[in-house]
Amino acid sequence: MCKNIRKDISREDINYTYLAINSKKLRIGIVGGGRAGLIKAKSFISKGCYVEVLALNFINEFYSLGNINFIKEEYKRAFIKDKHLIIIATSDKDLNRKIKEECEEDFKLYIFAEDYRKSMVITPIQRNLNNITFALNTKSGNPKGALMVCDKILQVAKGYDDFILYSSLIRKNAKDLEEIKNELINFVCNEDFKFIYEKEKDKLVLEMFYGKEVLKKIFKDL
């Protein structure tokens, strides 16, 4: 059994393209007032998205959420028109298929809660630090496994968070140094220079290689 486990576990033939979307500009429409809709609503509200939920009935937990617009009526196609992403999460299979078809006709992104394999979009696990944000998913629909790996990556990312801010400010200021910009960015954004930064020898080394005038320009915000 152990010998053949890699061959026996089926993997979905799906390739994902990840996009980082500005949450404050993202309009979410959820059709369905049950548990599946609630979970998605909580997730998107916590990220600062605009969320509307349409259903004839809502479970009580919905009413404890803030920053959400409730629409208590039957589904009509007009609901999806002004939304970027639609969550299809009703208990009516026929209605779910109808909404899915209309989303495809109107070129809407959609999550099909009934079966993630029929979705156009999945919501990966997301983690945010002060200067780093990342998302992770598995190809075989394993949320617990994704969570395990995500938390492991988070521990590694914490060791880079401050350095990412530091190197990002240098990169911003290096844009004015047209002749050496790319060389300077490559010099700073690597593991060797991160070690120098952590030893607080970064300014000394940069001055040795690029001189005092360059040093003044790239550290004007630091």
What is the C-alpha separation between 75 and 56, in angstroms, rounded?
Answer: 9
Domain span at residue 208 reads 161-218
Q: Do 207 and 115 reside in the same domain of the chain?
A: no
Domain check: are 87 and 178 in the same one?
A: no
Q: At 56, is the secondary structure helix, strand, or coil? A: coil
Which domain-ending residue is among 66, 101, 123?
123
Tell me the percentage of the chain whose pLDDT exceeds 70: 93
How many structural domains is the chain composed of? 2
195 is a domain residue: yes
Residue 2 falls within a domain, yes or no?
no
Query: What would the two tokens of residue 51 be?
Result: 């969320």
**Average of per-residue pLDDT across 166-194:** 94
Kindly tell me if the per-residue pLDDT of 184 is higher than 60. Answer: yes
Q: Is residue 140 part of a domain?
A: no
Decide if pLDDT at 35 tops 70. yes
The reply to whether 154 falls in a domain is no
- Asked if the structure places residue 103 within a domain, the reply is yes
Position 197 in a domain: yes
* pTM of the entire predicted model: 0.82
Domain co-membership, 37 together with 115: yes
Domain boundary among the residues 74, 95, 123 is at 123
Q: Does residue 53 contact residue 30 with C-beta atoms inside 8 Å?
A: yes
β-pair partners for 30: 53, 87
> What's the pLDDT score for residue 161?
98
- The CA–CA distances, whole Å, from 121 to 73, 162, 203 equal 26, 32, 45
The answer to whether 7 touches 31, Cβ cutoff 8 Å, is: no
**pLDDT score of 10:** 47
Joined together, the tokens standing for residue 102 give 């209309």
Residue 182 lies in a domain: yes
111 and 181 co-located in one domain: no
Q: Identify whether 106 is part of a domain.
A: yes
What per-residue confidence (pLDDT) applies to 12? 56
